[in-house]
Structures are given as structure tokens and as C-alpha cells.
Amino acid sequence: MEPDNQSLPTATPAANRTEPVPAPAPTELFSAEEPDHGLRWIFIGPEGLRAGWSVMVFLLFFPPLVSVNMAAMFHFHLIGKTGELAPRSAFFSEVASLLALIIAVALVGLIEGRRISAFNLTGLHRRQHFLAGLAAGFLALSALVGGLSAGGWLRFGSVALSGVAVFRFGLLWGCVFLMTGCFEEGAFRCYLQFTLTRGINFWWAFGAIATLCACLAVFVRGNASTGVYAAALLGFFPCLYLEQKSSARSGGFWYAAWVTSTLFGAVHISNAGESGVGIFAAAFIGFVFCVSVRVTGSAWWAIGSHAGWDWAETFSTARPTAVSRRMAAT
């Protein structure tokens, strides 16, 4: 009996076997890196609300808040009559501006999802940096005054206060200039420096400064504006070098410092009696404060130094500062 010739099933070679290819996942059909150029892209960037819109929102809130706060201070007789230069009036004038700044930054932070402390107020050793800045500002102004006196460019008059009055008025003016340091550094080295750093490149910085200089040339008379032009020109070449050698992100801090320092000098033009040299000095110290933010990681050294400098300039040497000039013009 012969065995049945039945063909046994054979395995299909791997080379000839066809297997279904799985369809790509839906997320793979489109590139994840494809940019979104819709309306959201216009307003929202990688770090939230774009810097330009943030500044516009801030400017929408801040001036009306200052006006409301000042009106409230006058209504409750916390600020005296026009031109009165007294610690009490100066203190509440600075408080009105500082409160407006805090509220405006808080509203912007609410939109952006940030806390107020995120605007260059965090970092290590904040108290130590503040106290070191306070001492540095006082000592720097004292050294300047000593040099001017030794060279015959400055002469001291008679002592205006004595006894307990020295400590009393020293403490009062110290409170005034603490508010000044918090307000001016809060505006320039905290809010503006932080916001512009995350969203400015060389050409936006150049355009902002060119616009500022053009406005000064058209609307401001006198030679004080030359200090702004000098500061703008001095910052142009280093920032242009950064633009050629590095990415926009790595140079953002210095482009922002160029803008905020030049603007810091420009806002002091309204102080009566300022010269081009004085305005350039204000812009330069503004840049020093920006460097301190970079070095220490926060604006606390700048706040302390600003307060210490102004206190020494006004109280110990009786030289008018921006605060006293603002009060005289109020």
C-alpha cells in the first residue's frame, strides 16, 4: 500500500510575505514644528503674551492709575499745594506712583500668568543685595562729592539742621527715596527689562531708540537731549556686534538694557536744570543697574543703590534730585 501523496502546507518565505503596514498616527500626519500664523500667533509667542503687546497693555493701565492715585492723595490732603517740597508730600507722591505701578504690573501679570515677583524680583540673597546696593549708592555719591569739593567745584554751606532734627529728617527722606528706588527701578529694571528681554531683537531695539531720538529732536528744546543721543550711539555698536555674532535670544538682555537705559536718561529731561552731561550720566547709571540685574539675578541691588544715591544727594548734600524737582513742578 503506497502512502497518500498529500501536499503538506509550507511556510511562506519571509521575503514573499506581505504584512499590513500600520497607518501613521494622526499627530504624525502634520509636522509638529509647523508654525501657526493665525491670530493667536500675532498675540502669543513661545513665552506667552508678546512683549510689545505686554508693554502696550501696561501703558493702557499705568497713566490713568497714576492720575487717580494722585487725585486721591490731593483729596485726602496727603500731598500739599503746588511746589511744596516737604518729606510728607514727597513721600505720598512717590507712594501714588508706586501703587499705580504695582497695580498695572499685577494686571499685566494676571493676563500673562505671572506673579509680580517674576519681574526680576526673585533670586538668592535679596536682602544682602539690597543692603549692599544701599551702601554702594551712598558711598559712590559721597566719593563724588568729596572729589568735587577737593577740586574746588563744590563748596559746602552752613549746616541747616542739628540735634534730633538731623535724625528725624534723615529718616523721613530715607523713606521718600526708598519709595523712589522701588518705583523707578520697578518700572525700568523690573517690568521693562524683564519684558523686553524675552521678546526684543536688535532691530526692534534700534527702531524704538530711533523713534525716541526723533521725538526728542522734534518736541524737546535745549541741549539736554544730547545726553540721550550720546547714550543711544554708545549702545549701538556693541548691540550691533551682538546681532552679528549671536542669536536674538542670547542678546535679548543687552538689547533691552540699551532701550531701558536710554529711556531712563530721556525721562530725566523733564527735570529742571538738567544738562546733556547729566542726562548721559542718568542713562549710564541705568545701564549699571541693568548689569547688576544680570550679575545678581534680581533688581534688589539696583533698588538699594538708587535709594542710597538719591538720599545722599538730597539730604546730606542738599542737591535737588528728580524727586524734589518733580515735587516743585507738581
> Residue 31 — φ and ψ, nearest 5°?
-70, 135
Weakest-pLDDT range from 84-88, 142-146, 180-184, 317-321: 317-321
| Predicted pLDDT of residue 33 | 46
Q: 119-144, pLDDT tens digit by residue? A: 999 989 999 999 999 999 999 998 98
197: pLDDT strictly greater than 50: yes
Q: Which residues are registered as beta bridge partners of 288?
A: none
Q: Looking at per-residue confidence, does 192 or 155 come out higher?
A: 192
Q: Is the pTM of this model over 0.95?
A: no
The residue count for the chain: 330
Distances (CA, A) of 131 to 61, 164, 300: 32, 25, 9
Helices (H), 246-275: 248-267
Are 290 and 301 within 8 A, CB to CB? no
Helices (H), the chain: 39-43, 51-75, 87-112, 126-150, 164-185, 193-197, 202-219, 225-245, 248-267, 276-296, 300-311, 322-329
